[in-house]
Chains A and B, each alone.
Chain A
Amino acid sequence: MALINHDSKLSEIILHDPSTITVLDRFGIALGVGDATIEQACSQHDIDVNFFVTILNTYINENYFPQQALEQFEVTEIVEYLSKTNSYYEHYILPNIERHFSFLIARAPSHNNNIIIMKQFFDEMKNELLQRINDDRDRLFPEVISNVKTLKTVSELSHNENATDTIEDKIDDLINMIVMHLKGDYDHNLGYAVIVAIFSLKKDIKQNNRIRRRILLPIYNSLTPQDE
């Protein structure tokens, strides 16, 4: 999709990429957007329009680098957006996948243990993601807000960022495992529900990791290290 600007219509953005509904929701914009442009919706909801446009472009366009616009944002805006994103994973998407998985397991014959093993793999990925969410809440976000970082070296942070990639890798692996290696008897509709739910997590994580890397990380790197 072409770059989004102040005059883009919300309805066109959603029709082009329905996963943006969750992004708009994090800004307090619900469905029923009417004919409003970004500019109009932002003034109505009291949203910083430049920040909103940057987030949407980073989310939608893989090649979009927002560097120039960075300094003008309040860190609280980014932290708030990413906190809502985390909360969406924690309270909606992960429980949703889990629920579908439990139905799938409950309906499958007891000798089909490969679904149970896939669920264990999902649990491992889930715990890793929840750990990152806790770390964001307890350490990373408060540090960004208070403009002080406690990590001694940058390498510790880049290690964290690698861990982020591991979550993406594991989601990819889980999807491939189901697509390529699911076997035995199972309810096909429930199998479909599981894979669609994981796909939507994958898409959101991938796009929001881009926002973390291109917006949050440069801010974090510019923080003042805490005196020992």
Chain B
Amino acid sequence: MSNSRVIILTHNTLEAIGLKGLLRDVFAIDAHIADDGYFSTFNQSIEPHLFFIDKATLVANLAFFLPRKSKTIVLTTGNEVIEDIKTLNCSASESEIISAMSLLLETNHHEEKPSSTLSSREIEVLRLIAMGKINKEIAQELNISINTVLTHRKNLTAKLGIKSVSGLSFYAMMNGIV
């Protein structure tokens, strides 16, 4: 799950800090603790993957959360059930909370991981990067938009674990791409 696309919205500060710590230490997820100002500055282009909210936040922002109920988890105390929305019982024991969270996070983990082998287009882009071309030139050469070039570069970095231009160039040399 991508980092910082997990939002925690609860009026219980200690609960928020505890949840953030648990997500970080056990699940390696860097969650963001938001406050009520979140909704006024909400930016649709960076739609989060998951919300942990308290009941008051749910009630006050039903119009926001109902369309997002598949990725909303309501923090409760006790085995409270809220129709159609997943809940996490914050007064359960630590191990129960962790196993409940593993289940909740798994069901939200449907995004497919990109295959680790490079597509022929990505190899093309990699070859041009290694030749020292900038994004604009790559776009022109392959007749694609700069945004598409950026997407290819993002995927290259995700697949190879290499970000810098010189790192990518040396990788291309190692693998006979240039």
Interface residues of A (CB under 8 A from B): 113-114, 117-118, 120-121, 124, 166, 169-170, 172-174, 176-177, 179-181
The 10 closest A-B pairs by CB, nearest first: A173-B167, A176-B161, A121-B170, A173-B162, A114-B174, A169-B164, A117-B174, A173-B164, A180-B161, A170-B164
Residues in A whose Cβ lies below 8 Å from that of B171 = 177, 181
CA distance A176 to B162 in the complex (A): 7
Interface of chain B residues 128 through 173 with chain A (CB within 8 A): 160-164, 166-167, 170-171, 173
Residues in A whose Cβ lies below 8 Å from that of B164 = 166, 169-170, 173
Residues in A whose Cβ lies below 8 Å from that of B174 = 113-114, 117-118, 181
Residues in A whose Cβ lies below 8 Å from that of B166 = 121, 124, 170, 173
CA distance A121 to B167 in the complex (A): 7
CA distance A120 to B160 in the complex (A): 18
CB atoms of B170 and A169 under 8 A apart: no
Q: Assuming A173-B162, A176-B160, A181-B171, what are 11 further A-B pairs, CB within 8 angstroms?
A: A113-B174, A114-B174, A121-B167, A124-B166, A166-B164, A169-B164, A170-B166, A173-B163, A173-B166, A177-B170, A177-B171
Which of A113, A169, A181 has a CB less than 8 Å from the CB of B163? A169
Nearest-CB residue, chain A, relative to B162: A173
Residues in A whose Cβ lies below 8 Å from that of B167 = 121, 169-170, 173-174, 177
Residues in B whose Cβ lies below 8 Å from that of A173 = 161-164, 166-167
CA distance A170 to B165 in the complex (A): 9
CA distance A167 to B93 in the complex (A): 45
CA distance A174 to B170 in the complex (A): 10
Residues in B whose Cβ lies below 8 Å from that of A170 = 164, 166-167
Could you list 6 examples of A-B contacts with CB < 8 Å? A114-B174, A121-B170, A124-B166, A173-B164, A176-B161, A177-B162
CA distance A88 to B97 in the complex (A): 46
Residues in B whose Cβ lies below 8 Å from that of A120 = 170
Residues in B whose Cβ lies below 8 Å from that of A121 = 166-167, 170
Known: A124-B166, A170-B166, A170-B167. A117 touches B173 (CB 8 A): yes
Residues in A whose Cβ lies below 8 Å from that of B162 = 173, 176-177
* Nearest chain A CB to B116 CB, angstrom units: 9
Residues in B whose Cβ lies below 8 Å from that of A179 = 161
Residues in B whose Cβ lies below 8 Å from that of A177 = 161-162, 167, 170-171
Residues in A whose Cβ lies below 8 Å from that of B163 = 169, 172-173
CB atoms of B160 and A117 under 8 A apart: no
Residues in A whose Cβ lies below 8 Å from that of B161 = 173, 176-177, 179-180
CB atoms of A118 and B160 under 8 A apart: no
* Nearest chain A CB to B23 CB, angstrom units: 16
